[in-house]
Amino acid sequence: MSQFLLSALLIIPLIGVALLVLIPRENKDVLRWTAFITTLVNFLVSLPLYFNFQSGAGYQFEEFAAWIPALNINYHLGVDGLSLFLVLLTTFLSAVAVLSSFSAITEQVKEYMALMLLLETAMLGVFVSLDLFLFYLFWEASLIPMALLIGRWGGERRIYASVKFIIYTMAGSALMLVAALVLYAWGGTSDLPVLLQTLDLPAWLQVWLFFAFALAFAVKVPLFPLHTWLPAAHVEAPTAGSIILAGVLLKMGTYGLMRFAIPLFPAAVPVWTPLLVTLAVIGIIYGALVALAQDAAKKLVAYSSVAHMGFIVLGIFSGGPQGMSAAVLQMVNHGLSTGMLFFMVGVLYEQRHSRLFSDYGGIWVKVPVFGVFFILAALSSVGLPGMNGFVGEFVILLGTFKVNWVAAAFGTFGIVLAAWYLLTAVRKLLFGPFNPANSGLRDMNGRELAIAVSLVVLFFVIGLFPQLFFKHITPATDALAERVNTTILAWR
């Protein structure tokens, strides 16, 4: 089974789609449970990746078959320390997103659930592909379901948000495709391990190809100033769409930087690092300040994502091997913390149909259980010691301080701002004078509690036992830093 494990992860959601097609659309509960059970099975199938993973052994669970032999393009899958936990994050959050949709989605349930499963396959394909064109295929395939989810089940400005999401992503992807074709023409293959061993590009070409790849990935991150599609997409997306968008899709950008841009074009890294770190720092401060000014909960979490993803980029490009490993863990941390924040906002929105903090206030007396979990989600995102967010942020800052104290100082200030806007959100939402309009609010039900508890357990597992994760991540990031001959550390 292990030799086809990655293919199984791609196929199981497609089997779920086939089952959904056979179920009458009137049987909405059957459709919901079929989709959820499919994602749950896929999550359980993905767990052996962790338990059978050998630290420091390079690509594992590899699958290889000729896809287009005449062009030397292959179906090549594998995972290493960079992708292992992103695969697990994807299968877990896909199950969370589907379960969170049970009461929120009442129209065209069949189509909605089918798109969620198709999106899961596409996202997993991005993280397990070791062929450049296979990666590009899954990268583009992930765009379609998400755009449809926003455009059909989103808010009032859903079409605007969906079109903006498509335009930004396609513009970046087009440039990446051109660069991939140049790379293929130069190397004679699109197989990543072969390219890493045999490719010998002149430095000037590496600089421009890195730019093309990095631009596509920066749009997806999104890195300031390419972030303007994100708030609109988050505000208009259904709750599950926001969970997946923040939890997984944004990570495709930072993962792409580490999987392709840095190792394929190491000579370009010191050229572009100052700009990327500068934009990351600006994004950290800008995202936090704009989040601080928001009354709309979803916008606050969206701009906090700009800040947090800037933090991850900072770790990748200025933290050295230490910062890189923390950046990978922080991708997982952000996915869990922000995913839970969007979920909690969705729990209230289903009842009150408002995401404005000013419409709430004092609701702790009505929904104390909700209040406890919302506070835990906020503290996780802030980076409270003992919770998941602390480990990644602390190690990123530690690595960055060694090479660029100015960037690290701005990063530290960003953490202070994050505590400010998230604790302010807690105060506005849960405490203060009670708004009588919220008298009808109910506390969390069993389904919602199951989601919240599972996320909080992971917060503390990562926060208290980070070595369970670093032991698999660090060998991969050390090898990546070594490949660029520590040029990431060369600038000051």
pLDDT confidence tier of residue 58, bands split at 50, 70 and 90: confident
Q: Give the CB-side neighbour count of residue 235, counting CA atoms within 13 A.
A: 22
Instruction: Say yes or no to pLDDT of 40 above 50.
Output: yes
Instruction: Say yes or no to pLDDT of 491 above 80.
Output: no
Cα(474)–Cα(41) distance, rounded to whole angstroms? 29
pLDDT given for residue 298 in this prediction: 85
Lowest mean pLDDT among 56-70, 200-214, 264-278: 56-70
Instruction: Say yes or no to pLDDT of 363 above 90.
Output: no
pLDDT given for residue 222 in this prediction: 87
Of 295, 292, 390, 300, the closest CA to residue 342 belongs to 300
Strand bridging mode 60-68 / 73-79: antiparallel
- Name the amino acid, one letter, at 22: L
Beta bridge partners of 79: 60
- Residue 359: DSSP 8-state: G
Instruction: Say yes or no to pLDDT of 197 above 70.
Output: yes
- Name the amino acid, one letter, at 27: N
Within-domain flag for 466: yes
pLDDT given for residue 492 in this prediction: 37
Residues counted in the chain: 492
Mean confidence (pLDDT) of the chain: 89
pLDDT confidence tier of residue 318, bands split at 50, 70 and 90: confident
Instruction: Say yes or no to pLDDT of 57 above 80.
Output: no
Within-domain flag for 389: yes
Q: To 10 degrees, what angle do helices 405-430 and 368-382 make? A: 170
Within-domain flag for 316: yes
Residue 311 to residues 37, 191, 303: CA-CA distances in angstroms?
35, 31, 13
Q: Taking residues 327-356, what's their average pLDDT? A: 90
Instruction: Say yes or no to pLDDT of 31 above 50.
Output: yes
Instruction: Say yes or no to pLDDT of 61 above 50.
Output: yes
Q: What is the pLDDT of residues 374-416, one digit of tens each?
A: 999 999 998 889 999 888 888 898 888 888 888 889 999 999 9
- Tell how far CA 40 is from the center of its chain: 19
pLDDT confidence tier of residue 487, bands split at 50, 70 and 90: very low
Within-domain flag for 346: yes
Cα(75)–Cα(66) distance, rounded to whole angstroms? 6
Q: Taking residues 307-326, what's their average pLDDT? A: 87
pTM of this prediction exceeds 0.75: yes
Q: Taking residues 187-191, what's their average pLDDT? A: 85
Q: What is the pLDDT of residues 123-136, one digit of tens each?
A: 999 999 999 999 99
pLDDT given for residue 404 in this prediction: 84
Instruction: Say yes or no to pLDDT of 322 above 70.
Output: yes
Q: What is the pLDDT of residues 467-484, one digit of tens each?
A: 999 999 999 888 888 887
Instruction: Say yes or no to pLDDT of 445 above 60.
Output: yes
Instruction: Say yes or no to pLDDT of 485 above 70.
Output: no
- Counting the structural domains of the chain, the total is 1
Within-domain flag for 67: no
Dihedral (CA of 223, 229, 235, 241) sign: negative
Within-domain flag for 457: yes
3-class DSSP state of 130: coil
Within-domain flag for 426: yes
Q: Taking residues 11-23, what's their average pLDDT? A: 94
Of 84, 62, 217, the closest CA to residue 131 belongs to 62
pLDDT given for residue 333 in this prediction: 94
Q: What is the pLDDT of residues 198-256, one digit of tens each?
A: 888 888 888 999 999 999 999 988 898 888 888 888 888 888 888 999 889 999 999 99
Contact indicator for 475, 81 with CB cutoff of 8 Å: yes
Within-domain flag for 329: yes
SS3 per-residue string spanning 352-383: HCCCEHHHCCCHHHCCHHHHHHHHHHHHHHHC
3-class DSSP state of 63: strand
Q: Taking residues 435-445, what's their average pLDDT? A: 84
pLDDT given for residue 319 in this prediction: 63
Q: Which residue has the tokens 């009505």?
A: 366
For residue 68, the tally of other CB atoms under 10 A from its CB is 12
Domain residues for the domain of 394 are 272-492
Of 292, 293, 288, 332, the closest CA to residue 310 belongs to 288
